[in-house]
Amino acid sequence: MGYSSLLSVSLCVLLLFSSCYAQIEQLAARQHQQQRRGLERFQSQCQLQNLNVLQPNRKIKSEAGTTEIWDQSQEELQCAGVVVVRHKFEQRGLLLPSYNNAPQLMYVVQGRGIHGAAFPGCPETFQSTQQSQHQRPAERGQQSGDEHQKVREFREGDVIALPAGVSQWIYNNGESQLVLVSLVDQSNFANQLDPNYRKFFLAGNPQEEVQGSLQDRESEREERRERRGNNIFSRLDERTLADAFNIDTQLARKLQSQDDKRGIIVRAKEDFQVVRPGRQQEEEYEHEERRRESRDNGLEETFCTMRLKHNIADPKSADIYNPRAGRISTVNNYNLPILKFLRLSAEHGTLYRNGIYAPHWNINAHSIVYVTKGSGRCQIVDNNGNQVFNDRVEEGQLLVVPQNFAVVKQASSEGFEWIAFKTNENAKISPLAGRTSVTRAIPEEVLMNSFRISREEARRLKFNRQETSLLQSTKSQQEY
């Protein structure tokens, strides 16, 4: 009897295991099919015959600044699967709280400011609980100060990371214009909607032009006019809002911002008095965070404690430096661990007069290059050996370098500086010239037979450059 019961239990367990294994196989097969479909989509969008320097197509004016958007329907941006936006803030300009449907990397081109990101479930660790002298007796003991999640001061050269669906606000507390350029990775796995750029505002009455692409905006103009709205509160019932926040309906209507014509960058009535540590205290805190990150095994850290910014333009943090050619700095999942979840990284490059960034290709990422200063000449070649780009790029322009396409950059007489957003958390390049190049790694015999050259020529090809990736021009008199 006991043997029969044991046999029955064993059969049941075996059937259950077989069923679970079959479901796992089906799930894996579905995921593989989805990956293949996604791969085909990218292949169909990257059949590029020529690349172009890109300028923003839309300019949206607000009360205290402007927003410029590169049209995502352009072939180069479709290939990379990204959207690029540039914000220009006047003094006391505030970008209204909002969130995106995909991860975002921002680079501070000019100025300084304050950045706030609200992560669900994280504590309000910044608190000010001074009791007001004008508080009525019945209100004594109630919260009279403010408390909120951590805010971060940033400066020129900082890269700021933001996961999909996390709301943020940005404020210019400097004395000059603040300029930010940001990349939104629409093809990222975190975007479960569609490839269109979607920005969800918590406040204000944003213009329709912020959403979607130019092509969508033209084809859906009538439909958008009929269903025009503003922030995410605008079409919720005011009584429901009042009940949810435990406020009166008059205040609930203010959340809906029906008559707000200020745009998405508004001017604060007076300078912000948000609770935040001094600049020196924040730098000390960031230094301690980096020390903790180097000790942690990756399990202790959460989004609540992760660093969101890293300065990439500081010459002291250069990864590659040649005093006669320039410097390169990178930020990736190693020095900013949150990028591991966003699957993005960035490179900052500075070339001195006529300096050369050695010919190379991006192994595992597209590179979206935004010129921050100066100008230079870029040449790009595709897999068929066709030159798809050979032109000058200047400050404020955008150039997309698809994955594996060979590229070389050379600065003009005024120098060349850029920020390159990469669609991989640990983007890598393979140089074609220099001490760490693929040419240096290939045996002489292979080079001799491949290029039909002599042994002496093969050795010159391999060893004439002792630099790594940044090269001093031997023809410095040539101007680009």
Tokens read off for 242:
């009042």
- Measured between alpha carbons, how far is 139 from 131 in angstroms, rounded to an integer? 10
β partners of residue 327: 321, 350
Amino acid at 24: I
Instruction: State both tokens at 151.
Output: 């805010």
Q: What are phi and psi of 151, to 5 degrees?
A: -115, 150
Other beta carbons within 10 angstroms of residue 376's beta carbon come to 24
- How far is Cα 348 from Cα 421, in angstroms, rounded to an integer? 9
CB-based contacts of 69: which residues, under 8 Å, 6+ apart?
A: 56, 57, 58, 60, 83, 84, 85, 86, 197, 209, 210
- Structure-token pair, residue 180: 């930010």
pLDDT (0 to 100) of residue 39: 43
Considering only CA atoms, give the Rg of the chain: 27
List the chain pLDDT tens, one digit each, 480 residues: 555 555 554 555 455 445 444 443 443 444 444 444 444 434 446 888 999 999 999 999 999 999 999 999 999 999 999 999 999 999 999 999 999 999 999 999 999 999 999 998 887 776 665 544 444 444 444 555 778 788 899 999 999 999 999 999 999 999 999 999 999 999 999 999 988 889 999 999 886 656 655 445 555 545 544 445 589 998 899 999 999 999 999 999 999 988 888 999 999 988 877 765 665 555 555 555 555 555 554 444 567 888 999 999 999 989 999 999 999 999 999 999 999 999 999 999 999 999 999 999 999 999 999 999 999 999 999 999 999 999 999 999 999 999 999 999 999 999 999 999 999 999 999 999 999 999 999 999 999 999 999 999 999 999 999 999 999 988 754 544
Which residues, in sequence order, are bridge partners of residue 200?
A: 99
Q: What is the DSSP string of 338-385?
A: THHHHT-EEEEEEE-TT-EEEEEEESS--EEEEEEEEEEEEEEE-TTS
- Output 385-391 pairs: Cβ under 8 A, ≥24 positions apart: 386/49, 388/48, 388/49, 388/50, 388/51, 389/50, 389/51, 389/52, 391/53
pTM of the model: 0.83
Give me the pLDDT at residue 272, please. Answer: 75
> Which pLDDT score, from 0 to 100, does residue 281 have?
57
The secondary structure of residue 131, as a DSSP letter, is P
pLDDT at residue number 139: 45
Cβ atoms of 317 and 311 within 8 Å: the answer is yes
* Burial class for 303, CB neighbours closer than 10 Å (0-12, 13-18, 19+): middle
Q: What is the pLDDT of residue 144?
A: 59
Q: What pLDDT, on the 0 to 100 scale, is given for residue 439?
A: 96
pLDDT, position 150: 85
pLDDT value at position 130?
54
